[in-house]
């Protein structure tokens, strides 16, 4: 198992452990205090357990090598897991909105506010630490699953801070409707995060081109690699999970030897793979002027 694979799996395992502890704690305190904000956050943490479990299973499939039936590997399982995750997050956000609407007409008093504040403060600190840990692993591996984990745990951290502020407002003002406000804010944050995640997943499933900046870097690398390479065409890029695919035709001037053209092409492939780590590069060579 490579270091990158182990880093991705360990990051998701951390998510599972921390989400489990937070969900149990917030559910208990939420029922004890009657705070809808805490219960909404507990539902979100329970959802985190489900989603991180799906992500861990998906990573194990995505890390399998290419085979006869999956020549490009199994990386798109990460995108499918992200699609499932975004839809479930949206569903959860809708439930919180519905419950907030019910509480608006049937308000309930809150109790033991100080205990709720302490619980959510600890939860916010744990979520913040987890987000930093996930983002470090995501930068190293460029995993779509870790990107989705980072998004929804970041929204968790913000929501937890919001619940702390709300419970303090309830304590200082004696007005329980502040709890409804934060539950709706949490739901909006959940729905917004799910929308961002859904867009990124759809881009991958639709084989959206790599960012323009990276494409320009590839183009510059091709044209500056060797004086005999005078142009290129049909540059196509996409990303599947952490793996990038680059396919391009280069134009070679004044080279009649098939062997030398082949060697030049192979050298260019190795150069591009070093410039774009984790890339699968395919280069076709044509005589100058061919399209």
Q: Torsions phi, psi of 70, nearest 5?
A: -135, 75
Per CATH, the number for 3-205 is: 1.20.1510.10
Task: State the pLDDT at residue 269.
Answer: 93
Task: State the pLDDT at residue 4.
Answer: 63
Q: Copy the structure tokens of residue 289.
A: 């002027």
Determine which of 7-21, 53-67, 105-119 has the lowest per-residue pLDDT on average. Answer: 105-119
Q: Where are the domains of the chain?
A: 3-205, 212-287
Please determine, for residue 169, whether its predicted confidence score (pLDDT) is greater than 70.
yes
Residue written as token pair 């995750």: 85
Following DSSP, what letter does each residue of 209-239 receive, concatenated? PPPHHHHHHHHHHHHTT-TTEEEEEEEEEEE
Please determine, for residue 217, whether its predicted confidence score (pLDDT) is greater than 70.
yes
Q: What percent of the chain has pLDDT over 90?
A: 13
Task: State the pLDDT at residue 219.
Answer: 93
Q: What's the whole-number mean pLDDT along residues 253-280?
A: 87
Task: State the pLDDT at residue 222.
Answer: 93
Q: In this structure, are strands 229-240 and 279-287 parallel, antiparallel, or unpaired?
A: unpaired
Alpha helices (H) in the chain, listed in sequence order: 3-33, 36-62, 76-105, 113-141, 144-173, 177-205, 212-223, 258-275
Please determine, for residue 287, whether its predicted confidence score (pLDDT) is greater than 90.
no
Task: State the pLDDT at residue 289.
Answer: 66
Please determine, for residue 231, whether its predicted confidence score (pLDDT) is greater than 80.
yes
The class level of CATH for 212-287 reads alpha beta
pTM greater than the 0.75 cutoff: no
Show Cβ contacts of residue 225 under 8 Å, excluding neighbours closer than 6 positions. Answer: 267, 268, 271
Write out pLDDT tens, residues 53-98: 777 777 777 777 777 787 777 777 877 877 887 787 788 777 777 7
Most confident of 8-12, 23-27, 183-187, 275-279: 275-279
User: Sheet holding 279-287: strands in order across?
Assistant: 229-240, 243-252, 279-287
Write out pLDDT tens, residues 129-147: 878 877 877 777 666 667 7
Task: State the pLDDT at residue 127.
Answer: 79
């Amino acid at each position: 198992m490579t270091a990158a694979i182990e880093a991705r799996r360990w990051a998701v395992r951390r998510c599972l452990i921390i989400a489990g502890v937070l969900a149990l704690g917030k559910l208990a305190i939420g029922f004890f205090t009657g705070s809808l904000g805490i219960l909404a956050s507990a539902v979100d943490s329970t959802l985190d357990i489900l989603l991180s479990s799906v992500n861990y299973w998906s990573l194990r499939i995505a890390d399998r090598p290419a085979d006869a039936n999956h020549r490009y590997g199994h990386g798109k399982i990460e995108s499918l897991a992200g699609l499932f995750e975004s839809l479930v997050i949206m569903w959860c956000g809708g439930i919180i909105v519905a419950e907030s609407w019910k509480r608006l007409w049937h308000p309930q008093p809150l109790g033991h506010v100080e205990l709720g504040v302490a619980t959510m403060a600890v939860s916010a600190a744990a979520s913040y630490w987890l987000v930093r840990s996930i983002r470090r692993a995501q930068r190293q591996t460029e995993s779509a699953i870790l990107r989705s984990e980072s998004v929804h745990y970041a929204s968790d951290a913000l929501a937890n801070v919001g619940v702390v502020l709300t419970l303090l407002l309830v304590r200082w003002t004696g007005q329980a409707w502040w709890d409804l406000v934060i539950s709706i804010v949490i739901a909006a944050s959940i729905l917004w995060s799910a929308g961002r995640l859904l867009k990124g997943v759809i881009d991958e499933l639709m084989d959206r081109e790599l960012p323009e900046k990276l494409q320009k870097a590839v183009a510059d690398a091709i044209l500056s690699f060797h004086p005999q390479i005078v142009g290129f065409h049909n540059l196509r890029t996409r990303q599947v999970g952490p793996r990038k695919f680059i396919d391009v035709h280069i134009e070679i001037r004044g080279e009649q030897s098939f062997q030398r053209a082949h060697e030049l092409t192979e050298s260019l492939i190795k150069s591009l793979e070093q410039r774009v780590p984790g890339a699968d590069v395919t280069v076709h060579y044509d005589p100058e002027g061919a399209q």
